[in-house]
Structures are given as structure tokens and as C-alpha cells.
Chains A and B, each alone.
Chain A
Amino acid sequence: MSEETPAPLWEVFIRSKRGLAHNHVGSLHAPDAEMALRNARDVYTRRMEGVSIWVVPSAMITASSPDEKDSFFDPAADKPYRHPTFYSIPKEVQQL
């Protein structure tokens, strides 16, 4: 825990209730997975935010590059037909 060698960084995902997906809520430092989970519980679920926690080493995440933003995302901008807007969603469906 010395300042010279900070513990590895972990990304924290929390499921707020059963049936929903885990959402990314932030990150924290911990020496191993067990303590990362414990720290996540202490840091991110103090106000009953969740019923399930995932922790993932930040180094294991492969991210898209901001430089590739145009080629990655712009092609989808003018293709409205990919949105399922012609279906009516029943009122009872809260989360889709």
C-alpha cells in the first residue's frame, strides 16, 4: 500500500436490482480481486445502490480509440432503419 507502488486499478460494475444489467459505476484501487470486491462494497454500495457487484482489472479492458471515432461510429448516424421504431412497446415493459 506504499505510495511508490499503488495497488492495481479495478473497474466496478453494479447491478441495481435483479433483472437489470450491471452498470459501470467507477473504479478503485485494490491489491487483489477479493479486496477489490470488498472495497467496491464499501465505496459504491453505501446507499443501497446494488444487489450484485462485478470487479474487473482495468488493464483487462480493451477500449476503442478516440482517434477512430469517425470510422467507428459515424457510419451508423444516417441509418434510422436500424432502429426498431415500428414496434409499439407495451406499457408494462419498464426496462428494455
Chain B
Amino acid sequence: MTLGVAGAAAVYTLRAADDCLVLSHRLAQWSSWAPTLEDDIALTNIALDLLGQARGLYARTAELDATGRSEDDYAFLRDEREFVNCLLVEQENGDFATTTVRQLLCSTFQLALWQSLTTSTDEQLAAIAAKAVTETTYHRDHATDWTLRLGDGTAESHERMEAALATLWPYTAELFESDAVSQEASILGVGPDPESLHPEWHGYVTRVLGDATLVVPQSTWKPSGGRQGLHTEPFGYMLAEMQHLHRSFPGVTW
């Protein structure tokens, strides 16, 4: 159960916001650790884009759920069970191949979502999406480029990409789950039911993986629960790290 947020549009928006924030923080964890200085900056650039997208979406959520909460309230003062991001974005960075695969899977989904949201009946969401389209187009290009290089690269890079795909692919099913919230949002014209984004996502991802000489895993395990606040173990640790400063020093700025 999502706490303190009323209405399908609010929950729908919050889901997209949490996806952005959590993925942003995961990418920010690469800061100073990426394989090269150039990609260190590239990954943190993408993280900042996602953070900006999250901020806009949290501000809109606060209006929709009429709680008047601030962006900080959503980011730093909710507990794990109140986050409604998908499980894929919270998966640990692993090696660079794992992060690359996660980026390909996530940014392809997000780009399809933003493109569809540009025609939302909610004008603010449409405006946020319109700005996000150009940013996420680049995120997907970046991930695509690295997927081709690493998948069709050396024996070791190929092996690592296959391992990353095997780890992350099962979590993609959850992206396209339809439930009462997404159906209501779709009927209201707020945004697409994620289910409807699957053909485009699947077409793009399988084409890139094919070009990268990678095989799409056959997986019957479809972990789920993120949209209901049921998360994987590493997420708690990530939240603790992300939230501790704000909770220890409420309202701190620097």
C-alpha cells in the first residue's frame, strides 16, 4: 500500500519519479569509480539529468496528492516500503557491463514513457516529459554505444555483458505490469499503461542486443513488487546511505 498518496495520477507520477531518483543515485555511486575520467563524467551527467526529472515529477506529485510535501520529503523522509520504483533501477551497479545493461534496459523504457507522456492530459507532466525526451534520447544512445562495444568486443567483455543480462533481464517484466493505478491513469489520459510500451521497448532492445552479438535470456522468473513498495535487499542499504545525512541533520544545506 502506498502511504499518504491519494489518487491514481499521483501514484502514477510518483512511480516515475522514484524510478528517476533511484537510478540517479545508483549512477551517482559511480562518481570517481568509473573506468575512465570521461565516463565518470558521462555517468554523473546522466545521474544529474535523472535527478532533474525526479524533482519535476515530485513537485507535480505533491500537487496531485495535495500533501504539499517538498522534493526532500519524498527523497529523504520516506522509508523503503513507501518507495514505488521498479526493482530494476535499484539493482546494484556491479561492474561497468552491469551498469551498461541496466542503462540500456531502463533508458529505453523511460524514453518510450516520456514520448508517450508528451501527449498527457496533465500539462505539467507533458512539459516535464518533453524536456526529458532529449535527455533520455542521449542516455539511450550512450547505453546503446557501450552495449555494442562491450557485447561485440573482447571475449571477456562479451562474457561480462552476458552475465549482466542474465542477472538483470528477469527484472524487466515488472516494467510493463499493468494494475489498477496504471489502468486508471491510462483511462484518465494521464499517461500510458506500461503494458502498451512493451512492443517498442522489446523491439529496440532486442535489435541492439542482436547487433551486439548478445542473446536475449529466456527467463521464467519475473520478480515484482517494487510498485507496491516491496524491494530487494540492496535497496535498503542504498536508501540508508542516501538519506542518512538529511536525517541526521534535518534541513541541512551546503
Contacts and interface: CB of A to CB of B under 8 A. Distances in A.
Given A1-B35, A28-B38, A30-B38, A42 B45 contact: yes
Interface in A1-44: 1, 7, 28-30, 34-35, 38-39, 42-43
Contacts of A28: 37-38
A91 interface: no
B38 A34 contact: no
B142 interface: yes
B42 interface: yes
B38 A39 contact: yes
Given A35-B145, A38-B142, A38-B145, A43 B38 contact: yes
Given A1-B36, A29-B36, A42 B145 contact: no
B38 A46 contact: no
Given A34-B145, A35-B145, A42 B36 contact: no
B150 to A, nearest CB: 10
A34 B142 CA distance: 11
Given A34-B145, A35-B145, A42 B35 contact: no
Nearest to A1: B35
A39 B45 CA distance: 11
B44 to A, nearest CB: 9
8 contacts: A1-B36, A7-B36, A28-B37, A29-B36, A38-B141, A38-B145, A39-B42, A43-B41
Interface of A: 1, 7, 28-30, 34-35, 38-39, 42-43, 46
